[in-house]
Amino acid sequence: MKSNTSLPVIMPQVSGQQWSCHSCGDCCRTLVGDLTDEERAGLDAHPWEEKLGAKPYVLVGRRAALNKRADGSCVFLDDTNRCMIHAQLGEQAKPIACRIFPFSVRRVENAWQASFRFDCPSATASKGKPISQYGSWLTDLAQQLSQDSQVIKPETLERGLIATQEELAIITSRLSRWVKEKKLPVHHRMIAISRVASMLYDAKLASVRGMKLGELLDIFWQSAIHEMEPPLLEPTKRQHAMLRQLAFVHAEFVTLQELRAGFISQMKKRWQQLGAARRFFSGKSTVPALQGFSGQTTFDVVGAVSPASQTEEIDELIERYLLSRTTSRSIFGSGYYSWPLAAGMAALTASVSTIGWLARLHCAQNGRAQLQLEDVSQAVVVVDRAVTRLPAVGSTAERARIRYLSVEDGLARLLHRYAIGEETT
């Protein structure tokens, strides 16, 4: 195993975010636990197949991943929600993908950039120790990752234009400041960011480098704030349809069983997905089944759900989620499917309307008509699980969809229509 002792870990700066593992076992039921070659050899050296009555890991193409039972849970998860590797051989023997969750790290220039995930109940509820206390623990884990297995890609502001470290810091600090702008309701902050993104699509960034980029962003932000006054129009039918499709794409998480399914099963699944995608586009009658959501409801009922009236905890959750994205540099470039800055910033705001729609789905499926914290938490879990991880979310088709929504103020209209909380200021 190669060592990266000299490389520091850059932690996400999310004020108020706490986390400790409360052993609920959710991650062992929902995530695919990738293995390094050494971890695979370690599992081979132990009589796990005999003890488990199943193979300890499976191959998915060239990847090796911890095996799952038919219900999707890891084969090492016991009846008391404990990991058998942990129980029998100690925590150090567990695969690094399991030990590091809900953090992850990726190589950036001269450092490891840490990210924090929200698809853990203790993360969404912010329960445990401040995440800032995990820096040295993550540094130790990052040292165990192979330097060669990580690809360092430069951050691209737009085609052919690489961002400098100074520019990355400028963008991160501006976005984080806007996300925390308490004078505006959360969805107004996002509307303003969506308009900054629209202006960035038309800007020639090659002529505003370094500090000038910060000045340009400030001008765009001020202009976006001043545009807030006239009431926003209702989204067009097509904008509504595109948001429903975004929600569908985010919730189509691929399970290990689906990854390993044979050609015929994969084709069948693809056919079902096409049918569901068409129904999400049309928005008529019953909402097709989505992962992470259960219960029947119709698109009309989902659309009629009102924003939450108790917004303090919900705003705080959305703010933590967005800060985690901005300060882990998961907005554009190598942190977001190699998308340029304007597209990545627009996608950030689209993920908030997607949360707004999926939260309404969860609410409607539970027979309620007004959003609550539990609806928003579930939507954040689903969106965060998909963003930067699902290839479909970063596809060319999705990038074109986001571009389409950023014209005619589509992203702003959708953010307003699917606002998560009522306006209180």
Stretch that binds ligand SF4, among 15-23, 222-230, 235-243, 331-339 (CB under 6 A): 15-23
Per CB under 6 A, 87 contacts ligand SF4: no
State the nearest-atom distance from the C-beta of 31 to ligand SF4, in Å.
8
Per CB under 6 A, 83 contacts ligand SF4: no
Stretch that binds ligand SF4, among 20-28, 191-199, 294-302, 404-412 (CB under 6 A): 20-28
Q: Which of 3, 16, 21, 38 binds ligand SF4 (CB under 6 A)?
A: 21
State the nearest-atom distance from the C-beta of 337 to ligand SF4, in Å.
25
What is the separation of C-alpha 234 from the centre of its chain, rounded to a whole number of angstroms? Answer: 27
Per CB under 6 A, 381 contacts ligand SF4: no
Amino acid identity at 312:
E
State the nearest-atom distance from the C-beta of 47 to ligand SF4, in Å.
26
In DSSP terms, which residues pair with 105 in a beta bridge?
114
Q: Which of 25, 72, 214, 303 binds ligand SF4 (CB under 6 A)?
A: 25
What's the rounded Cα separation, in Å, for the pair 33 and 101? 10
What's the rounded Cα separation, in Å, for the pair 71 and 257? 10
Kindly calculate the radius of gyration of the chain based on its CA atoms and give it in whole angstroms: 22
State the nearest-atom distance from the C-beta of 83 to ligand SF4, in Å.
9
Per CB under 6 A, 27 contacts ligand SF4: yes
Q: Are 276 and 248 in contact (CB under 8 A)?
A: yes
- Residue 77 or 346 with smaller CB distance to ligand SF4: 77
What's the rounded Cα separation, in Å, for the pair 201 and 196? 9
Would strands 57-60 and 103-108 be described as parallel, antiparallel, or unpaired? Answer: unpaired
Q: Which of residues 119-138 bind ligand SF4 (CB under 6 A)?
A: 120-122
State the nearest-atom distance from the C-beta of 26 to ligand SF4, in Å.
4
- Residue 122 or 338 with smaller CB distance to ligand SF4: 122
Neighbouring CB atoms inside 10 A of 307's CB total 18
Would strands 63-66 and 57-60 be described as parallel, antiparallel, or unpaired? Answer: antiparallel
- Residue 103 or 221 with smaller CB distance to ligand SF4: 103
Question: Residue 91: CB partners within 8 Å, gap ≥ 6?
Answer: 99
Q: Which of 13, 26, 172, 313 binds ligand SF4 (CB under 6 A)?
A: 26
Q: Is omega for the bond preceding 102 within 30 degrees of 0, making it cis?
A: yes
Nearest to 227, CA basis, from 261, 258, 196 = 196
- Residue 33 or 307 with smaller CB distance to ligand SF4: 33
- Residue 118 or 220 with smaller CB distance to ligand SF4: 118
Neighbouring CB atoms inside 10 A of 169's CB total 13
State the nearest-atom distance from the C-beta of 310 to ligand SF4, in Å.
25
Per CB under 6 A, 101 contacts ligand SF4: yes
DSSP state of 3: -
Q: Which of 18, 22, 46, 313 binds ligand SF4 (CB under 6 A)?
A: 22
- Residue 69 or 278 with smaller CB distance to ligand SF4: 69
What's the rounded Cα separation, in Å, for the pair 65 and 276? 29
φ/ψ (deg, to 5) at 111: -165, 170
Please report, as ranges, the residues that interact with ligand SF4 according to CB under 6 A. 21-27, 101-102, 120-122
